[in-house]
């Protein structure tokens, strides 16, 4: 697929505009929130939780909710034994919290019974968890494992890239497929946080 004319200049400009990393995604996104000091397994689980909470929810609310969960104890074991009513109360400010409570409980059960207490390591396996779609799976895979096999595209990116005529797509998944057809692979890892933050600030 042929890259759009002049894309590199625009990409570089956005990189410059985002150099201060001051958008909500930088402080309250899936990369910034997890507790690394609690070890890799807990960190990976918290990356997944942050992304599961993030859909249809502002990053500031995700940040506040993650901090409440962390105070409660955001580990696989603790969330597994936390009853659904309390979990729903803890995440009550995020969008679709009733569904997310159910998905988090189901995903945590699967992580314990099928993955020995650690989250799945590939995007394909992550997408088998309830409530986890391609966007979340590719970002979790990248942030939690340092493996990049796809681009996590959200509505901000979908809107901006269509406005720039870098893609011509009907939904974020179509945008992802087209982007992956021409964007150099060394940019796949950074493109989500870079452009989501840009979308939040314009």
Active site residue 135: yes
Check if the beta carbon of residue 138 is closer than 8 Å to that of residue 145.
Answer: no
State the DSSP code for 67. Answer: H
Closest CA to 50 of 123, 156, 139, 111: 139
Contacts of 83 (CB under 8 A, 6+ apart): none
Question: Which of 89, 135, 170, 187 does the annotation list as catalytic?
Answer: 135
| Dihedral of the alpha carbons of 62, 65, 66, 69, in degrees to the nearest 10 | -160
Q: And the tokens for 48? A: 């997944």
Q: And the tokens for 47? A: 């990356």
Contacts of 72 (CB under 8 A, 6+ apart): 78, 82, 90
Catalytic residues: 135
């Amino acid at each position: 697929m042929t890259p759009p004319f002049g894309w590199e200049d625009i990409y570089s400009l956005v990189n410059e505009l985002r150099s201060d990393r001051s958008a909500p995604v930088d402080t309250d996104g899936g990369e910034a929130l997890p507790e690394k000091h609690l070890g890799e397994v807990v960190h990976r689980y918290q990356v997944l939780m942050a992304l599961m909470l993030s859909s249809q929810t502002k990053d500031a609310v995700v940040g506040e909710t993650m901090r409440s969960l962390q105070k409660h104890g955001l580990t696989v074991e603790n969330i597994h034994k936390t009853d659904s009513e309390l979990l729903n109360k803890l995440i009550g400010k995020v969008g679709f919290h009733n569904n997310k409570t159910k998905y988090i409980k189901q995903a945590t059960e699967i992580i314990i019974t099928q993955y020995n207490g650690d989250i799945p390591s590939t995007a394909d396996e992550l997408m088998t968890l309830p409530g986890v779609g391609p966007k979340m799976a590719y970002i979790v895979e990248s942030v939690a494992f340092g493996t990049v096999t796809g681009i996590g595209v959200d509505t901000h990116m979908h809107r901006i890239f269509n406005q720039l005529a870098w893609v011509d797509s009907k939904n974020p998944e179509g945008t992802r497929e087209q982007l992956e057809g021409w964007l150099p692979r060394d940019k796949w890892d950074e493109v989500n946080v870079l452009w989501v933050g840009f979308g939040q600030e314009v």
